[in-house]
A and B are shown apart, each in its own frame.
Chain A
Amino acid sequence: MNQDIFATLCQLLEPFNSAKIALKPETDISADLNIDSVSVMDFVMEVEDHFDIEIPLNVLSETRSLADLVKVVEGRLAKV
């Protein structure tokens, strides 16, 4: 797993992680953090803006853990 991307994602996620749950690669974004769909979209937008990529809905629907999201970001960056 790309540690740089993981670290950046953790940083971007911090403002949404109001319960201050420890972030690990296997952390399930919707389950462990219990943030609503609008906030998830806000977070995804931050990720898109930061890396200048687009993450389509169908890809998002198959993304569960932070490690999954790292892979998605890596893949999207490779396409640019």
Chain B
Amino acid sequence: MHGTAIKGGLRQSASEFALSPTSHHNPVLAKVLGGFATLTAGLDYAARGVTGFNFYSSRGQLEHVLPYRELRLKALATARKLLSTGLKRGERVAVVAETSPDFMAVFFGCQYAGLVPCPMPYSMYIGGKNAYVSRIAGMLKTARASAVILPGDLVSHITEAARLADTAIVKTFEELAAMPESIEKLKPFDVDDVAYIQYSSGSTSSPKGVLITQKAIVANTRGILRDGLKITNEDRAFSWLPLYHDMGLVGFCLSPMMGQVTVDYLSTTSFARRPAMWLKLMSENRNTIAYSPSFGFDLAARRINGEAVTLDLTSWRVAGIGGDMVRADILNDFAEKLSVAGFDAKAFTPSYGMAESTLAITFADLSKPVKIDTVDRLHYKLAQRAVPASEQLKQSPERVRSFVVCGKPIAGHEIVIRDDRGADLGEREIGRILFKGPSLMDGYFENAEATQAIMTADGYMDTGDMGYWLDGEIVITGRAKDLILHNGRNIWPQDIEWAAEQIEPLRNGDAAAFAVEGEDGEDDVVVLVHCRLADAVEMEDLRRKVAAVVHQTAGIECAVILVAPKSLPFTSSGKLSRAGAKDGYLTGDIAEISPLARLPRSLDETRLAAAQ
């Protein structure tokens, strides 16, 4: 009895100790910026120091502290637990990537066990359960995942997805933790092995898993740490980016680990709810590095209000921008609002990359302010040349376009820009951006056709983006593919169309989705839908249902336009021509037929402006 009382007392006093986050630097262990042979070699080294990961709640409380030393121990135990479920070397383990120590333990546990982790999204929209389930099922199927590990609150969602995909092992983090530890000798992934499969690329209707090797992740993290961010002992990172996305996983989990950098995390959901918490925590912890797509800077700047003056952001030396087109107006606004907190606009660092290149391809020079190139819109449109706009021309904003300069490739990596016939282009000539280097993915997992479609005979990967050279740096002007960019997310028009076509009486080929540039430079999404109904009320009901399903699938607002049956253009090979549909819409050839239509004003105006 006595003993129990003492034990209880101890537990009580232990919980009264406030957690404290890991230090930003190792007092004894020498800083080594990547270059380890594998992820586990990197973690074995980082575990000799005191740095690591800290997890904050949406209200800014420190909830978990996970030094690399503890992460390694947890990962080793998790590796043995995974193996005791009967998983064999090389099998795929899907794991829902919530921002938590549990996810990290499974991801790194797989590395020690020789299993291939596939981080799965943890993002849903209101009313969007079905869309989430089919998205996960598609990923499990293409990864041929043998197991899926998930947080307890997603049991009903994931069990359904696993059943659709025939994934045999479904375990919550708690259930996995309760498994016995296999006693077989652990054989971690070696230098010539694979590392993980990333699913931030490809559409939901036909997902493609990017297979990343140990060599690729080692090369890319090394480039990020040494060439891109030039990490020092003073650095401390902050991230609210999702860990199922390459910028979150590679940029703010794997790279920091390979450089023994401490990271403070706020979950993506928490950030979405309280964007200002990002800046408050950065101020508290004196973080030096954080990345966000443009919209994140916008959200945070709008929410910080009078509190900006209470913050200290003087330590923030790299405010990286990636994931979508960089918006100069948003950056200016952010810098203006946060200058009272000591934020230096020179910290803004445009960069460029994608999951197929592990993450990073180029970084702008850290020491210089963001460089904007303003070009003549007419030459840009007609001659595919980026001709600098004269001072006079700049007075008329409708005649110029401004692009952000995204920097040079990381060491050992190469970019070429080519025209449609494959000829290399020079300074200020706009063409397709191709990439080659050790960070290149191994390919799309078990999808040789999709891999071949983007590889050239001479070993370059076509990024699908358009751009031009400027003094040895690249400028991204847009994309060759139909991808829609929304708040840093890639949205595939196929997904929107597929979702719309599930609505009665629509069928395959009845919808076309594309983006038109809104007044603020953002993509506005338009969905054209064949309408065979005659009753005006039924027509409005169809419009409402299509808008709803698009919202539940992609989480975006869109303009649904009901158009005459058979008015959408198809190519000779029977494929929907989205470019043709967009042209038809902008010129008014394909137009709304419902008498009750109320077009959103901004879109209507955009259409008029673009048609002129």
Partner of B272, one of A28, A32, A41: A41
Residues of the A chain whose Cβ atoms lie less than 8 Å from the Cβ of B153? 56-58
Q: Does A34 contact B (CB under 8 A)?
A: yes
Q: Does A44 contact B (CB under 8 A)?
A: yes
Residues of the A chain whose Cβ atoms lie less than 8 Å from the Cβ of B544? 31-32
A62 touches B129 (CB 8 A): yes
Instruction: Report how many residues on chain B are interfacial, defined by Cβ distance under 8 Å.
Output: 28
Report the bound CA distance from A30 to B603 in whole Å.
Answer: 20
Q: Does B593 contact A (CB under 8 A)?
A: no
Partner of B126, one of A30, A45, A48, A56: A30
A30 touches B272 (CB 8 A): no
Q: A35-B557, A41-B273 are in contact. Are A61 and B548 (CB under 8 A)?
A: no
B125 touches A31 (CB 8 A): no
Q: Does B124 contact A (CB under 8 A)?
A: yes
Partner of A45, one of B123, B156, B274, B487: B274
A57 touches B127 (CB 8 A): no
Report the bound CA distance from A29 to B547 in whole Å.
Answer: 12
Residues of the A chain whose Cβ atoms lie less than 8 Å from the Cβ of B545? 31
A58 touches B274 (CB 8 A): no
B547 touches A37 (CB 8 A): no
Interface residues of A in 1-59 (CB under 8 A from B): 28-32, 34-38, 40-41, 44-45, 48, 56-58
B129 touches A45 (CB 8 A): no
Q: A36-B556, A58-B154 are in contact. Are A29 and B124 (CB under 8 A)?
A: no
Q: Does B132 contact A (CB under 8 A)?
A: yes
Q: Does A77 contact B (CB under 8 A)?
A: no
Residues of the A chain whose Cβ atoms lie less than 8 Å from the Cβ of B156? 58
Partner of A63, one of B126, B555, B557: B126
Q: Does B122 contact A (CB under 8 A)?
A: yes
A30 touches B548 (CB 8 A): yes
Residues of the A chain whose Cβ atoms lie less than 8 Å from the Cβ of B487? 37-38
B557 touches A36 (CB 8 A): yes
Report the bound CA distance from A79 to B153 in whole Å.
Answer: 16
Q: Which residue of A lies closest to B598 (CB)?
A: A19
Interface contacts beyond A37-B125, A57-B269: sample of 10 additional A-B pairs, CB < 8 Å, sorted by A: A29-B126, A30-B125, A31-B127, A32-B544, A34-B551, A38-B272, A45-B273, A58-B124, A61-B128, A62-B129
Q: List 7 A-B contacts (CB under 8 A).
A: A30-B548, A30-B551, A31-B545, A31-B548, A38-B272, A45-B274, A61-B129
